Amino acid sequence: MHSLDKIMRPKSVAVIGASTKAHTIGSDIMKRLQEYHFAGKIYPVNPKGGVIEGLPAVKTVLEIEGPVDMAIIVVNAKFVLSTIDQCHEKGITGIVVISAGFKESGAEGAALEKALLEKVRSYGMRCVGPNCLGVVNTHPDISMDGCFAESLPVRGDIGFVSQSGALGGGILNILKDLNIGFAQFISIGNQADVNAEDAIEYWEDQDDVHQILLYMESIQNPANFRKLATRITRRKPIIALKAGRSAAGASAASSHTGSLAGSDKAAEALLRQSGVIREYSLKSLFSTAKVFRNCPIPKGDRVCIITNSGGPGIMATDAICDYGMQMAQLSDETKAKLRSFLPAAASVKNPVDMIASAPLEHYQQTLTTVLADPGVDMVISIYLPFLGLRDIDVAKALMEIKAQHPEKPIVGVFMTKNEFFSTISDMDVNIPFFQFAEEAVDGLARLNMQRKWLARPEGKTPVFDVARDKVDALFAAARSEGRAELTTRESLDVLDAYGVRVCKAGFARTEDEAVAIAESIGWPVVMKMTSKTTSHKTDVGGVRVNLGSAEELRANYQDLVAKLKEKGLLEGLEGVIIQEMVKSSRELVCGVACDPQYGPMVMFGLGGVFVEVMKDVSFSLAPLTDQDAHDLIRSVKAFKLLEGARGTKPADIAKVEEIVLRLSQLVTDYPEVIELDINPLMISDKTGEAIAVDGRIKIKL
């Protein structure tokens, strides 16, 4: 038995705080349990006793005869702890605390919630809440509506978690209008004990839960969420609305990577790497749920459109292309069959425009014909009201055909009156219907995302041979001097120790040493100052490039010293790094930023001086798998530069992937690395090799 069974599949429920007073939570929960015909026993508990909703009430839970699986607690927060003590004495292990007044109310409430959790854990209980709406299980064997939403739940295939009680209640009230039902619902509230991870793990093996929806404001344990979701999304789709995108949670950071990172970037990476489909509005969340409820996962991304109006067909085509899906190429056989019954003015190319005069029979014949084409994976059927053709008749015809062809997704676009959607909300439909073509394409794109996720290799996290002893020494030296920021030389040495290809270079403390190193490397060279007090070299003219002779190098060295002296920064100068001059028209950036909640993230994207202007960067949470690295570098527009745009030599893409994997290993081995930049990571025009020409590392002291 799962630990949540006592809450989600109880045989008996005690409502502690049941009330005879109308329109109170204690009264409404009693009514909902009865009106939904809970299959088990209901025990109202009220200090005054009496009769509540036709059932005899006991004064304490200890007076109940026989076992009780779950208690729904609706009492003042100050009485919750003593109530839990009584529940433990009674042997109740499933608790739902509806009561508010805990951490959401301030420090005193937070202390009370901490004590609540300690009791629950010590008693071996599981607790939903506090400050929540309740729980629902629509399975006919359970029939439990243990919440106080206004509407009774509709049976469906969704497991739904809501962190917001009020929002969850509002959603439950409108689900019927959306023609969406659910199997189970958990309002986790403050999630003192049971959280979203517990819910999705529980639903992994619940046969009547076919898809999981999440409304989240926070993710308590990102690492555990990632582990669970990565596994479960290969069995069932998980669709999440993660709120708080605009939170100003991005800490002020001094590195490029840090300044571009933010808590939502981390959440985005977590969901993407876990195979979770992220939505950005409630409308999209439930539109996607509607598609998954009524459509199988497609075999490919080739979409066919049938329509009685050209305009919506064109808009749908644009949306399909925007998502990177394909317009299906209909076979000659399919086109010939379409011509055999469609009028001469019709178009038998995709989109198939049956023209405005299309009768019901043409919808039926056209849909059946394109479904039979092996080059078609998904179909959008668009209807506009013309010549007396009734929308509901077309919808019924499409659903009849879908019943005969369940293997391919079919989505209906009905640009008609709202009455149509009210009518189908009372019907048992097997096709998702939308009012606009773009909504339908959004839904198919989510199906395609799930298809690609299921086909995606799980990936492995490689372990490279590295020189940790060198890194230990470099970090120890910085700490001994109280420095959080490593010098350029130290940063490049760390990267080199982890197998990242850095420029051929040498460190010089004097002008003569600089010339000697340049002679050994070969002209032209780059000269970079390395300082314990100045990290951004370009701000003080600390980078001099394309120096082609000893005379030019000496002049630039002397000029650098003069400028630092003028600015009062000469004392921090360690010396200069003389590097090979890498000729490159492609500058990228790699880096690491640390999110306080989600942990270290690896960044990749367009680098150089444009990194914070163009912001063509993506993040992935460490540790990265080889598949994560593959996806990360292909997720930015700058990837086209790696492929060899405009005749440049293609980059060694496998080596670029290896670099981000080595950075992932570095930050996993050394969690004290809070910021790291390789900017630029240059792609050699001559060899296509990725070379780190500058590095910057900051550690936690």
* pLDDT tens-digit series, residues 344-377: 999 999 999 999 999 999 999 999 999 999 999 9
Other CB atoms within 10 Å distance of the CB of residue 568: 9
pLDDT at 71 over 60: yes
Q: Catalogue the E-assigned strands of 262-360.
A: 277-279, 302-307, 326-327, 352-353
Q: How confident is the model at residue 23 (pLDDT cuts 50, 70, 90)?
A: confident
Two domains, one topology: 504-581 and 586-699? no
In terms of pLDDT, which residue wins out, 536 or 394?
A: 394
Is the preceding peptide bond at 359 cis, omega within 30 degrees of 0? no
**What's the whole-number average pLDDT of the chain?**
92
The one-letter amino acid at 437: A
DSSP state of 6: H
183 Cβ neighbours under 8 A, 6+ residues apart: 137, 138, 139, 155, 156, 157, 158, 159, 206, 208, 209, 210
Q: Residue 701 is encoded by which pair of tokens?
A: 């002291």
**Rounded CA separation 545/541 (Å):** 11
Determine which of 194-203, 247-256, 691-700 has the lowest per-residue pLDDT on average.
247-256
Percent of the chain with pLDDT strictly greater than 70: 95
In terms of pLDDT, which residue wins out, 168 or 454?
A: 454
Q: Residue 635 is encoded by which pair of tokens?
A: 């997720």
- State the fold for domain 504-581: Dna Ligase; domain 1 (3.30.1490)
pLDDT for the residue numbered 259 = 47
pLDDT for the residue numbered 536 = 60
H or E segment to which residue 380 belongs: strand 378-383
14 Cβ neighbours under 8 A, 6+ residues apart: 43, 44, 45, 61, 64, 68, 70, 71, 72, 87, 92
Q: How confident is the model at residue 568 (pLDDT cuts 50, 70, 90)?
A: confident
Architecture of domain 301-455: 3-Layer(aba) Sandwich (3.40)
**Rounded CA separation 129/97 (Å):** 5
* pLDDT tens-digit series, residues 303-335: 999 999 999 999 999 999 999 999 999 999 999
Percent of the chain with pLDDT strictly greater than 90: 79
H or E segment to which residue 621 belongs: strand 617-621
DSSP state of 103: G
- State the fold for domain 5-217: Rossmann fold (3.40.50)
Q: How distant, in Å, are the alpha carbons of 236, 527, 576 from that of 571?
A: 61, 18, 14
Closest CA to 28 of 150, 132, 175, 173: 150
* pLDDT tens-digit series, residues 102-131: 999 999 999 999 999 999 999 999 999 999
133-165: buried (b, 16+ CB within 10 Å) or exposed (e) per residue?
bbbbbbbeebbbbbbbbeebbbebbbbbbbbbb
Q: Do residues 439 and 433 make contact, with C-beta atoms less than 8 angstroms apart?
A: no
pLDDT at 86 over 50: yes
Domain-by-domain residue ranges, the chain?
5-217, 301-455, 504-581, 586-699
Closest CA to 649 of 691, 689, 685: 685
pLDDT for the residue numbered 686 = 86
Mean pLDDT across 54-74 = 96
- Which residue is associated with the tokens 């109880």? 10
Q: How confident is the model at residue 249 (pLDDT cuts 50, 70, 90)?
A: very low
* pLDDT tens-digit series, residues 511-520: 999 999 999 9
* pLDDT tens-digit series, residues 409-450: 999 999 999 999 989 988 999 999 999 999 999 999 999 999
Q: Do residues 262 and 242 make contact, with C-beta atoms less than 8 angstroms apart?
A: no
Q: How distant, in Å, are the alpha carbons of 6, 96, 202, 671 from that of 182?
A: 19, 20, 15, 42
pLDDT for the residue numbered 64 = 97
**Rounded CA separation 116/388 (Å):** 64
pLDDT for the residue numbered 219 = 87
Query: Strand 573-580 vs strand 505-508: parallel, antiparallel, or unpaired?
Result: antiparallel
Q: How distant, in Å, are the alpha carbons of 8, 152, 210 from that of 203?
A: 11, 21, 9
pLDDT for the residue numbered 252 = 37
* pLDDT tens-digit series, residues 585-609: 899 999 999 988 899 999 999 987 6
**Rounded CA separation 148/684 (Å):** 64
Dihedral of the CA atoms 181, 184, 186, 187 (nearest 10)?
Answer: 20
Sheet containing strand 182-187, edge to edge, reads: 144-147, 134-137, 182-187, 155-162, 211-216, 238-242, 277-279
Three-state SS at 85: helix
pLDDT for the residue numbered 153 = 87
**Rounded CA separation 218/244 (Å):** 8
pLDDT for the residue numbered 262 = 55
Closest CA to 87 of 55, 122, 41, 114: 122
Selected from 3.40.50.10470, 3.40.30.10, 3.30.470.20, 1.25.40.10, the CATH number assigned to the domain covering 586-699 reads: 3.30.470.20
In terms of pLDDT, which residue wins out, 644 or 233?
A: 233
- Which residue is associated with the tokens 């590392």? 697
